Amino acid sequence: MTMTRVSEAGMFVAGARARSERTYPVTDPYSGCDVASVPIAAAAQIDQALDAAVDGAARMAVLPAHERAAALERAASFADRRVETIARLISSEQGKNARGGDTRGQESGGG
């Protein structure tokens, strides 16, 4: 079984695209093939991300519930538009074969 690289993941730090000198492979345990690579953040990038998370939590805490809900709906919609890609990557990194083009087991009744 041959598997091609699914993606080279990007990295966002504090809402901006960031670069990394190092990456870590995501490997299909069944085939041993790399299916993706993810960036490894530098210590300064981790600090920046944590600062942004604390700031973001403070901003979200003062928003009315309906605005927080709307933000979550936008995030869910973003993920829904990419469900096949996300499911394919998750399946491949677990060594599972997505059959029939439908990788959404929760929607198709599979498991």
> Three-state DSSP class for 27?
strand
pTM for the model stands at 0.65
Read off the pLDDT of residues 49-89 as tens digits, 9 standing for 90 and up. Answer: 999 999 999 999 999 999 999 999 999 999 999 999 888 87
pLDDT in tens, 20-41: 989 998 888 888 888 888 899 9
Paired tokens of 17: 């695209």
Closest CA to 95 of 49, 28, 42, 48: 28
